[in-house]
């Protein structure tokens, strides 16, 4: 059954089995995220007097020492990890999807779990969504590899894991689906929606059993008063777009700064900067969601919002740039809330009674900052809706998200922060429509099973018996291994036109025929990978084998023409 399942999953239309696997990966990712959140909470409970938002109650010395020592500890953990195992976060997931067919190593995921838990718990200005994406993606990848599934289905399971992780971590199931496809995969495919939605659903249900159903932010149902407020909405969008561009530029700068310094020193420095910022403004420490909630309720003065904006921007850019494990979406929500709240409060002070509560503009700033930073407007709108449980926000949010995104896009070169950070590593994202199409199809769904195999030298009688099956292809073996591909029609024509007795030995490499060099292709690879192998081997034909090219069993024949015909059909 498992063998049949693997062959079935090579077909991109295998919706039902992928739906079942999506639920499985959703439960796996949901369990991982619950364990991750519990680890953070247990660490925070050891020294924070009032839970995750209790950093302000610590004395000045502890606010300085906690992130500094935390950064040094995390840096030492990374220092003693082999270089290949240090890459973590969303950029790492995009890199593995682009260059390594979605194979996410367990070692990196374990380091992400421990390192990010320590980073968040020690008060660094990072979020948990980046680590959640990595952990969910690793859950999907490792599940697929454990079941020895084809690579095209593993890619889908990674998307399932990402959506499930976002849904479980923030109680935003639909935003998780859109985020996975818009931000990480950067494509929408109809066949992926069913398993991805089910994965996000199952993970969120599991998470709600532990953390309840309440949205992340509890605020009144704020809404825009009149259309006369649209200029203020536009001003908010412009301000957020400028801050988003500055944030991305700073993050890129610090990511390339001190690149030759040992990671323990870099992360220790990042922790020290956070500690110094927290000495005067402790609200910048941790995920700072309590501060956002206060801003949405209109409880923060203007000077404090501006101070949090400036110092959290610096602490986040330095901390993440120095390599501290953590996410940037959480901090971007905080930054956006501070920008929007500051604009709203300033305008309402200058023109009393003319606009709605400045908490509304803090909401708009959150979505705009997320959209502008990630260049993902749909994900930002849906996240804003689910985080606040306020549908009234959508109309003005559409304007702020798009305008801020356009401004940020023009200023930073039209790419999301993740692609910019990927390029900082010397890598590029391969946005190729042909590759995207062929990545979704496994070789076993396209290969031809209409073939026969025989040794290079065979008797005329043996060849006549083979041709009674009328095979499309004849695989010529040499020393027991497939070597050359011969069209069945060419062999049939030769036998018909030549004469000889049944015992005559015929060398199939000598007869007139359109022979092609055969190269092995493993059964789990996608059509894009197979095409890459054919290009590297300068061949036009391959045989699908069981063991990554080391086995002699043949599942079928795949030619370059088969791949091209599939792509034309997909178009």
More confident residue, 562 or 390: 562
pLDDT above 90 for 250? yes
pLDDT above 80 for 434? no
The CATH number of whichever domain residue 508 belongs to comes to 3.10.580.10
441: enclosing H helix or E strand = none
Tens of pLDDT, residue by residue over 394-431, are: 889 999 999 999 999 888 877 788 888 888 777 777 66
Confidence label for 569 from pLDDT (cuts 50, 70 and 90): low
Q: Identify whether residues 420 and 454 lie together within a single domain.
A: no
pLDDT above 80 for 552? no
Confidence label for 35 from pLDDT (cuts 50, 70 and 90): very high
Number of Cβ within a 10 Å radius of residue 571:
8
Q: Which of 320, 313, 278 is nearest to 129 (CA)?
A: 320
Last residue of a domain, which of 400, 424, 448? 424
Q: Identify whether residues 208 and 59 lie together within a single domain.
A: yes
What pLDDT, on the 0 to 100 scale, is given for residue 132? 94
452: enclosing H helix or E strand = strand 451-455
Tens of pLDDT, residue by residue over 140-187, are: 999 999 988 888 889 899 999 999 999 998 888 999 999 888 888 777
Domains of the chain: total: 3
What pLDDT, on the 0 to 100 scale, is given for residue 439? 82
Give the whole-angstrom CA distance, residue 132 versus residue 209. Answer: 18
**3-state secondary structure at position 165:** helix
pLDDT above 60 for 570? no
Tens of pLDDT, residue by residue over 284-309, are: 998 888 888 888 888 899 999 999 99
Give the whole-angstrom CA distance, residue 50 versus residue 117. Answer: 18
Dihedral sign from CA coordinates of 499, 502, 505, 509:
positive
What pLDDT, on the 0 to 100 scale, is given for residue 141? 94
Residue 181 lies in a domain: yes
Confidence label for 364 from pLDDT (cuts 50, 70 and 90): very high
Confidence label for 551 from pLDDT (cuts 50, 70 and 90): very low
Contact at 8 Å (CB) between 325 and 115? yes
Give the whole-angstrom CA distance, residue 532 versus residue 20. Answer: 31
Residue 432 lies in a domain: no
Query: Could you tell me the CA-to-CA distances from 196 to 33, 49, 211, 435, 546 in Å, in that order?
Result: 17, 39, 22, 21, 29
pLDDT above 50 for 549? no
Judged by average pLDDT, the poorest of 43-57, 145-159, 239-253, 342-356 is 43-57
Q: Identify whether residues 272 and 420 lie together within a single domain.
A: yes
Q: Identify whether residues 443 and 413 lie together within a single domain.
A: no
What pLDDT, on the 0 to 100 scale, is given for residue 191? 67
The CATH number of whichever domain residue 237 belongs to comes to 1.10.3080.10
Within 100-229, residue ranges assigned H as helices are 106-121, 129-146, 151-170, 173-179, 190-211
Give the whole-angstrom CA distance, residue 334 versus residue 340. Answer: 10
Q: Identify whether residues 202 and 244 lie together within a single domain.
A: no
Counting every residue written for the chain, the total comes to 571
Confidence label for 134 from pLDDT (cuts 50, 70 and 90): very high
Residue 279 lies in a domain: yes
What pLDDT, on the 0 to 100 scale, is given for residue 51? 56
Domain that residue 10 falls in = 2-214
Mean pLDDT, residues 558-563? 90
Judged by average pLDDT, the poorest of 5-9, 129-133, 135-139, 453-457 is 5-9
Residue 220 lies in a domain: no
How many Cα neighbours within 13 Å face the side chain of 87?
Answer: 15
Q: Identify whether residues 134 and 11 lie together within a single domain.
A: yes
DSSP 546: S
Judged by average pLDDT, the poorest of 108-122, 298-312, 352-366 is 352-366
Q: Is 0.85 surpassed by the pTM of this model?
A: yes
Judged by average pLDDT, the poorest of 160-174, 306-320, 466-480, 545-559 is 545-559
Instruction: State the DSSP string of 302-337.
Output: HHHHHHHHHHHHHHHHHHHHTT---BSHHHHHHHHH
pLDDT above 80 for 384? yes
Give the whole-angstrom CA distance, residue 135 versus residue 92. Answer: 11
Residue 221 lies in a domain: no
Strand order in the sheet with 481-487: 451-455, 473-478, 481-487, 516-522, 541-545, 554-559
More confident residue, 95 or 436: 95
Q: Identify whether residues 103 and 204 lie together within a single domain.
A: yes
Tens of pLDDT, residue by residue over 197-239, are: 999 999 999 999 988 877 777 777 777 767 778 899 999 999 9
Q: What percent of the chain has pLDDT over 70?
A: 96
Residue 289 lies in a domain: yes
Give the whole-angstrom CA distance, residue 452 versus residue 469. Answer: 8
Give the whole-angstrom CA distance, residue 422 versus residue 93. Answer: 10
Q: Identify whether residues 9 and 32 lie together within a single domain.
A: yes
Mean pLDDT, residues 474-494? 86
pLDDT above 60 for 548? no
Q: Identify whether residues 136 and 250 lie together within a single domain.
A: no
Residue 431 lies in a domain: no
Q: Identify whether residues 511 and 406 lie together within a single domain.
A: no
Give the whole-angstrom CA distance, residue 251 versus residue 314. Answer: 9
Mean pLDDT score across all residues of the chain: 87
Contact at 8 Å (CB) between 126 and 331? yes
pLDDT above 80 for 49? no
Residue 406 lies in a domain: yes
Tens of pLDDT, residue by residue over 78-92, are: 999 998 888 898 999
Give the whole-angstrom CA distance, residue 68 versus residue 269. Answer: 7
Confidence label for 459 from pLDDT (cuts 50, 70 and 90): confident
More confident residue, 314 or 3: 314
Q: Identify whether residues 419 and 467 lie together within a single domain.
A: no
Q: Identify whether residues 236 and 131 lie together within a single domain.
A: no
Q: What angle do CA 526, 549, 508 make, to 5 degrees?
A: 110
Last residue of a domain, which of 187, 214, 241? 214
Last residue of a domain, which of 424, 458, 478? 424
Confidence label for 547 from pLDDT (cuts 50, 70 and 90): low
Query: Could you tell me the CA-to-CA distances from 81 to 42, 46, 107, 227, 284 in Å, in that order?
Result: 24, 26, 9, 56, 29
């Amino acid at each position: 059954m498992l063998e049949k399942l693997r062959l079935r999953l090579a077909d991109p239309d295998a919706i039902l089995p992928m739906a079942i696997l999506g639920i499985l990966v959703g439960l796996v990712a949901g369990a991982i995220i619950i364990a991750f959140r519990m680890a953070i909470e247990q660490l925070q409970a050891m020294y924070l007097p009032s839970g995750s938002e209790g950093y302000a109650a610590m004395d000045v010395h502890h606010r300085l020492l906690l992130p500094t020592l935390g950064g040094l500890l995390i840096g030492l953990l990374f220092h003693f990890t082999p270089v290949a195992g240090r890459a973590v976060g969303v950029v790492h997931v995009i890199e593995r999807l682009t260059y390594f067919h979605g194979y996410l190593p367990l070692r990196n995921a374990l380091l992400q779990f421990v390192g990010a838990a320590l980073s968040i718990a020690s008060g660094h200005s990072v979020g948990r969504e980046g680590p959640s994406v990595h952990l969910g993606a690793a859950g999907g990848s490792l599940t697929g590899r454990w079941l020895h599934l084809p690579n095209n289905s593993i890619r889908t399971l990674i998307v399932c894991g990402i959506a499930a992780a976002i849904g479980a971590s923030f109680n935003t199931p639909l935003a998780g689906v859109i985020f996975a496809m818009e931000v990480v995969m950067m494509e929408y495919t109809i066949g992926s929606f069913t398993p991805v939605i089910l994965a996000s659903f199952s993970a969120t249900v599991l998470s709600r059993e532990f953390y309840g159903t309440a949205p992340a932010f509890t605020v009144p149902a704020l809404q825009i008063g009149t259309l006369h407020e649209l200029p203020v909405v536009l001003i908010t969008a412009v301000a957020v777009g400028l801050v988003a561009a500055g944030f991305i530029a700073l993050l890129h700068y610090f990511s390339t700064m001190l690149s030759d310094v040992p990671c323990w020193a870099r992360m220790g420095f990042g922790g020290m900067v956070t500690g110094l910022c927290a000495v005067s403004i402790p609200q910048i420490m941790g995920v700072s969601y309590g501060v956002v909630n206060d801003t949405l309720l209109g409880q923060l003065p203007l000077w404090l919002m501006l101070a949090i904006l400036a110092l959290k921007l610096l602490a986040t850019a330095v901390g993440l740039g120095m390599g501290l494990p953590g996410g940037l979406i959480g901090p971007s929500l905080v930054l956006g809330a501070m920008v929007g709240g500051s604009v709203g409060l300033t305008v309402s002070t200058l023109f009393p009674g003319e606009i709605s509560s400045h908490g509304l503009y803090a909401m708009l700033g959150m979505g705009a900052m997320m959209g502008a930073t990630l260049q993902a407007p749909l994900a930002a709108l849906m996240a804003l809706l689910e985080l606040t449980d306020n549908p009234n926000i959508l109309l003005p949010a559409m304007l702020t998200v798009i305008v801020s995104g356009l401004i940020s896009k023009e200023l930073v070169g039209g790419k999301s922060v993740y692609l910019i950070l990927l390029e900082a590593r010397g890598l590029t994202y391969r946005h190729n429509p042909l590759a995207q199409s062929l990545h979704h199809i496994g070789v076993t769904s396209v290969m031809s099973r209409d073939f026969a195999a025989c040794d290079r030298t065979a008797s005329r009688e043996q060849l006549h018996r083979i041709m009674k099956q009328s095979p499309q292809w004849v695989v010529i073996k040499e020393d027991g291994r497939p070597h050359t591909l011969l069209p069945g029609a060419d062999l049939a024509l030769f036998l018909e036109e030549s004469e000889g007795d049944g015992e005559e030995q015929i060398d199939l490499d000598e007869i007139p025929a359109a022979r092609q060099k055969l190269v092995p292709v493993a059964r789990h690879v996608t059509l894009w990978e197979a095409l890459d192998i054919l290009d590297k081997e300068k061949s036009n034909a391959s045989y699908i084998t069981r063991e990554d090219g080391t086995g002699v069993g043949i599942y079928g024949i795949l030619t370059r023409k088969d791949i091209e015909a599939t792509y034309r059909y997909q178009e």
